Structures are given as structure tokens and as C-alpha cells.
Chains A and B, each alone.
Chain A
Amino acid sequence: MNSKKKVGKEIFLKINGKEETVFCQPGETLLFVLRNRLYHTEVKEGCGKGDCGACTVLLDGVPVDSCLVLAYQAEGKEILTVKGLGTPEKIHPLQKKFIEKGAIQCGFCTPGQLLSAKALLEKNPKPSREDIKRAISGNLCRCTGYKKIIEAVEAASKA
């Protein structure tokens, strides 16, 4: 019989304004816990090692690759995923401009792009094109549709 105590603990997270408690094991990434334990599948898994930005979430308002954050490190912090940004009924201005400008092709990078753009506009409401490029430089678009994404962020900043 294995009498060893199960490794892990309950951690408290605040996701899109909602308080959640979830059992995690040490070493599990925030990305894994969001997707596999809490079914926040709007957070996309791309490379899994910090190269692509598909799994970007805002952690206390700051964009991070959720594959490079351990769930234990996110304890007590506020997490924003794209589902917390807007809903079909109440769409966020960035989402509106992404749709208008056709800044979505396959859509896989879109959650991350939107969250990086949101963090940019919070910090710098009137960014230059260069500022926008820099802000989304950690979000790869496999369809290479960067031009429209940059235009959408620019349009949202002017709206």
C-alpha cells in the first residue's frame, strides 16, 4: 500500500474577477492548471516554452507567458484571460477593432495578441506604431497577419 500523502495543495486564484480554488501539484505551470484543471481553454498552448506568446495572460495586469509561470507562483494573484476581456454581448473595443480590421486569420494567437495589446493601452493609451510592434513582439502569428493586428490596435487606441 502506498501510504504517501498526495503531493500538492489547494491554491487560490482570481481569474477574470472570479475567485477559484484549485488543487495543483508543484511544478505544474499556470497554463496547465488553467487549461486542464479549470478548463480555461481560451488560453492557448503553442510552444510551451516561452517562444510564441499564445498562452499570454495578464498576471496582476502584466503580460506573461502562462507556460513560464508555475501555478504556485500565481497564488493570490489576479489573472485575466481573453474571456475576461469581453463577451459576445459586451465586446471590448480592442476585440471590436480586431474584427473590423480583419486582424484574425486562424485565431490561435488572437487571445494573446489582445491581452498584450490591452496591457499596452493601459500603460500607454496613445502608442506609436513602434510601441505597438514592440508590445506584441512576444506574440507570434503563424498566419503572419501582423499588419492588420497592428492596425487594429492603433484603431482601438484612437477610438
Chain B
Amino acid sequence: MLRDHLFPKTINEALTLLKEYKGKARLIAGGTDLIPEIREKEFDFEVLVDIEKIKKLRSIREESKKIFIGSGVTFTELEENELIKAHAQVLSQAASLMGSPQVRNRGTVGGNIVSAQPAADGALALFALDAMLEIACTKGIREIPIEKAYLDIGKSIINPSREILVGIRFEKRKKGEGSNYQRVAIRKAMALPILACGVFVKSIDRSIASARIAIGPVSHTPFRAREAEGFLKGKSLSAETFERAGEIASEEVNPRDSRLRGSSIYRGGLSAVLVKRGLEGALANIG
């Protein structure tokens, strides 16, 4: 049973509360995943520590070389933010496609990561951006690449009874870089993706210097299509290159047969299509 619901105003205050309750307290951000669990009585904590009033977690700001997004930023805020539109089209697009307006008004980017679903739209976009996570605990602050934060379906390395995901950082967009998000679902809103894909491309002199491709759900965690990424390196920008990269990606993914999302064969084929469209979209976004 829940005994209390507290609203600390600073990160340190929140960390102190988590420590005082010795694992019996849990952080809550937007609550769009957690509140249904509370309703179903599927929880083992006694106290909620709410991050809503911690201002540092609610901001998006420009640093010298990077963009910082506080973990408590909502999907609506992400979608509408001009810095995100300018530097990370993939994230802006992913945010606009997640859930419904009501869910986007509450759900946070930090919760999207800590919930660790392999097809989480925010997380796939941040994989494509090679984002770093800033995590705080009473012992101090550490930074890890987002890819290292995932352990299994629904399980992240961040323990919400002990530590706080402070925010996310990724590099500002430079000349020749672009990104894009592709998503196929049964309906355009309030539907889990059948398949989604985030793409980042850096091009120099009409050829690809580097690319990052994140696909989900095709594994227990968001999946980086590294063989396709390797193939793209140094190739010229052409329809054939994108087509071939899609084919390679579809060979390295391993989607399950799913009654909700479609067969493995279908979703494998769809991977090729979304990677190709994502590359085309990222190219059109190059600044």
C-alpha cells in the first residue's frame, strides 16, 4: 500500500528521500506507465517521489556543443521545441507520433527510457542520435551511452528507487548531418508500432561519412543495425545504396512473430522499407 507521495524541489532532496526510504520509495515522472500499474496493484513500493517540481529536470537547453534535455520534459514539449526541431528532427518526429495528445502531455522522455521498452519512440530516436544519459545517485553523477542503459524488455540499468536519470545529451547538428523517424502502426495514434526506425546520417561530398540506424521492436532492446551502418560508410548517396542498406538491415534484425504486430517475415521486410525511407528522410533533412 502507498503511504505517501512527495514532491521534492531539487535533485539532491529527491535522492535523499530515496535513500531514507531504503528501496521502498520509487520515482514517478509522467506516470503514464506507472499509474496503470498502481491501479492494478502491481507494485512493491510504499512511497512515490515525484519529479514534477524539480525545475532542472524540466528544461531543454543548448550547451556549447550539445543539446541537453531534462528527463522530465514531456513529449508535447519535445515535439514543439525549436531547438529539437533544428538539431534532432528524428526526436521531434518520434515525439509527435507517440501515444495521444493526452499521453504526450504527461509522458516524459526520461520515463520512456527508464521503462525500457524496445519500441519506445523516444528511445529509438535517441539511439539514432547516440545520446548520453546523465544519472545521479547519492554518490555522484555518471554519464553512460543510452545503448548501455538497456538490460532487457522493461528493464533498464537505472534503478528508480535509488537513482535519478537527470537528462539526456546529444551533439548539436553539424553541416552535412540529418535525421529522420519512420513508424508504421495500425492507426496513427494510440497504437503500438508494428515497426519503427530512427536514422541519422552524416554526408560529405555526396557520400556517406557515417550513419546510425535504430530499429524496434526487433529485439529485447532497441536495436542498432550495425551491419547496415557499416555498409553505408563511404558509399555514394544513391537510391541503390539506400535500397541495399535496407536489405542488409532486414537480414540482421530478428523480429518475433506477433499477433499484435505481424509476422516475423512481414516485419523483416518492413525493416528494409523503413530503413530506406528513413535514409531518404534524413538526407532531405541535411543542414
Contact of A49 among B30, B36, B188 (CB under 8 A): B36
Known: A56-B102, A65-B102, A138-B100. A51 touches B190 (CB 8 A): yes
Q: How large is the interface on A (under 10, 10 to 19, 20 to 34, 35 or more residues)?
A: 20 to 34
A25: which B residues are within 8 A, CB to CB? Answer: 2
Count: A-B pairs, CB below 8 Å? 91
A7: which B residues are within 8 A, CB to CB? Answer: 1-4
Contact of A27 among B30, B38, B99, B101 (CB under 8 A): B38
The minimal Cβ–Cβ distance linking B49 to chain A, given in whole angstroms, is 11
Known: A134-B101, A138-B101. A68 touches B106 (CB 8 A): yes
The minimal Cβ–Cβ distance linking A99 to chain B, given in whole angstroms, is 24
Q: A136-153 vs B: 1/0 string, CB under 8 Å? A: 011110000000000000
B48 closest partner in A (C-beta): A26
Any A CB within 8 A of the CB of B31: yes
Distance between Cα atoms of A135 and B188 in the complex (Å): 12
Known: A49-B39, A137-B100. A69 touches B31 (CB 8 A): yes
Known: A51-B190, A137-B190, A138-B190. A27 touches B2 (CB 8 A): yes
The interface on chain B, measured as residues whose beta carbon lies within 8 A of the other chain's beta carbons, has a size of: 29
Distance between Cα atoms of A51 and B99 in the complex (Å): 9
Any B CB within 8 A of the CB of A67: yes
Interface residues of A in 67-121 (CB under 8 A from B): 67-70, 72-73, 116, 119
Contact across chains for A53 and B100 when beta carbons are under 8 A apart: yes
The minimal Cβ–Cβ distance linking B193 to chain A, given in whole angstroms, is 15
B52: which A residues are within 8 A, CB to CB? Answer: 73
Contact across chains for A27 and B48 when beta carbons are under 8 A apart: yes
B188: which A residues are within 8 A, CB to CB? Answer: 137
Contact across chains for A67 and B35 when beta carbons are under 8 A apart: yes
- 7 more A-B residue pairs beyond the given contacts A48-B36, A68-B35, with a C-beta to C-beta distance below 8 A: A7-B4, A29-B39, A51-B190, A70-B48, A73-B50, A138-B101, A138-B190
6 pairs from A and B in contact (CB 8 Å cutoff): A26-B5, A48-B36, A56-B102, A63-B102, A64-B102, A68-B30
